[in-house]
Structure 1
């Protein structure tokens, strides 16, 4: 008798790999596999979940391959089970717009299928696909440094002229005023020239001196041009697990389009 988390045995080592970009890809913080990891799923989806979970990264997990590689369910049943896994928050199929290639400079859509042992809600998937949740193997985030563009430019003034060497506390105090200056004139060279040009022989208080220049040489506000909406090209789209229709994560709750979700609810 099969356990709750498998289909009469584990996948064979010869389970085929997908073409690059199309196979199974893991998600972070999945935790250890437990006997009840998939107990909340219907029997068919529960069995297929155990099978998929045991597969290696980049394994082919399309309906045709899964139907061929496990003994219990045909292609139609596997497709239904994949829909159930998607709706439960274990699976998402996405397409991403790649960066221009080094050769011909064109962009292409690449396709990924993400698997999570832990059931995730739609909000988590949306954040993950937008890059707010690191993928497995990503470097640990480094402690954030107090280096906004304004802070950085202030700190570098002393490299341009030692008379304007500022301490960390000085940079923090002047950061807001420098940010306002940069918002009006973003050119870094003009900022440096305005701060360092025509210095007196001795600057007794670099912080006070820079504060005065930030105030007295503040550029005027630029007149805003009429706003012309720019079409947004979303770089990551979810694909409906069943029919492949693309859309933003919020438009495909459970990874399914409206029509396929309606069909799932009727079963």
Structure 2
């Protein structure tokens, strides 16, 4: 694996990308010797990448010359089953400035499901915000007792009226500029899917029909890049109906609402970490996954 190819590998956006798990053993020659050739090559490449490197299939396929997107996607799924990685969605930020980000936790050593479950549970606890006492609102301040109040408050002199004062004539408001209807972010994501992957080319009517559903993703804190990755991840060799395929994914993989938008339930902790299936990308609780796969994908035996 050449150092030059790794040096050109892109960084992920802040909060996204590769995250190495703790207690890693030092890298050694032949550390992935038991893996098949393709997985061994991708594992070695990923292992040498720095923290925060982009882990999406397109970036990995573009930065190393041996394998394309489909092969890279299959290799990542196999590495998840082998215990080297987990894809997760994490809440990043505090208060009303939170958003979902996608991270890939990487382990040089193959870990079993129990280890990953314990690690992800600890990672969620670690990322939970610390409770701090909020300052009292200005209307909640105590009123000082009579003995503590100032002895006297000097009266303000009356403001003398200015004789024959004229009120300035209000300036005429400018004419409103003509506005051009601009496509919404949701519409633009749908319209650009065909350029990202020709198998998901949608017509203008298709985009308009799906726009409202896609807009709900933005209302739940995701951005255009995130939505595009979810819709284009793990595509089959051919898509007979791009409209039906995208509609199904928009409904099936929509993330949960952000805590700021959901009513707080006393005694119910807010989940700040959700695992993604390494095959289909569907989110869920860590304990619902085995070998990084959701139940339907395990039953189908896709790897």
Common fold, TM-score beyond 0.5? yes
CA distance in 2, matches of 1:127, 1:232: 18
Displacement of 1:112: 1.5
Following the alignment from structure 2 to structure 1, what is the Cα–Cα distance between the partners of residues 102 and 77? Answer: 18
**Given the alignment of the two structures, is residue 260 of structure 1 paired with residue 297 of structure 2, yes or no?**
yes
The structural deviation recorded for 1:34 is 2.0
Establish whether residue 127 from structure 1 lines up as the match of residue 118 from structure 2: yes
Q: Are residue 100 (structure 1) and residue 94 (structure 2) matched?
A: yes
After superposition, the Cα gap between the structure-2 partners of 1:266 and 1:243, relative to the gap in structure 1 and judged at 3 Å, is: closer
Change over 3 Å in CA distance of 1:261–1:42 after alignment to 2 = farther
- 1:1-267 equivalences in 2 (<5 Å): 8-10=1-3, 11-98=5-92, 100-101=94-95, 105=96, 107-131=98-122, 233-263=270-300, 265=301
Deviations 1:58-104 (A, max 9, x none): 11121111111111111001000000000111111111234533xxx
Moved over 6 A (4+): 132-135
Is contact 2:85–2:105 with CA below 8 Å preserved after alignment? yes
CA distance in 2, matches of 1:266, 1:245: 14
Render the CA deviation track for 1:29-55: whole Å, top value 9, x for unaligned: 111112232122222111100011111
Deviation for aligned residue 1:12: 3.2
- Cα RMSD after superposing both structures: 2.6
The Cα shift of 1:108 comes to 2.6
Structure 2 CA distance, aligned partners of 1:24 and 1:118? Answer: 15
The structure-2 alpha-carbon separation of the partners of 1:230 and 1:114, relative to structure 1 and needing over 3 Å to count, comes to: same
Scaled by the length of structure 2, the TM-score of the pair is 0.49
8 Å contact from structure 2 (residues 278, 292) kept in 1: yes
Cα separation, 1, equivalents of 2:79 and 2:281? 15
Aligned-partner Cα distance in 2 for 1:94–1:117: 17
Q: List alignment gaps of at least 5 residues for structure 1.
A: 1-7, 136-227
Contact 2:124 2:273 in 1 (8 A): no
C-alpha contact 1:28 1:134 (8 A) present in aligned 2: no
TM-score scaled to structure 1, two decimals?
Answer: 0.55
Equivalent position of 1:195 in the other structure? none
Kindly indicate whether the alpha-carbon contact (under 8 Å) linking 2:8 and 2:63 is maintained by their aligned counterparts in 1.
no
- How many residues align structurally? 164
List gaps (5 residues or longer) in structure 2. 127-264
Q: Aligned partners of 2:273, 2:102: CA distance in 1, in Å?
A: 10
Q: CA deviation at 1:231?
A: 5.5
Cα distance, 1:21–1:39 mapped onto 2, change above 3 Å: same
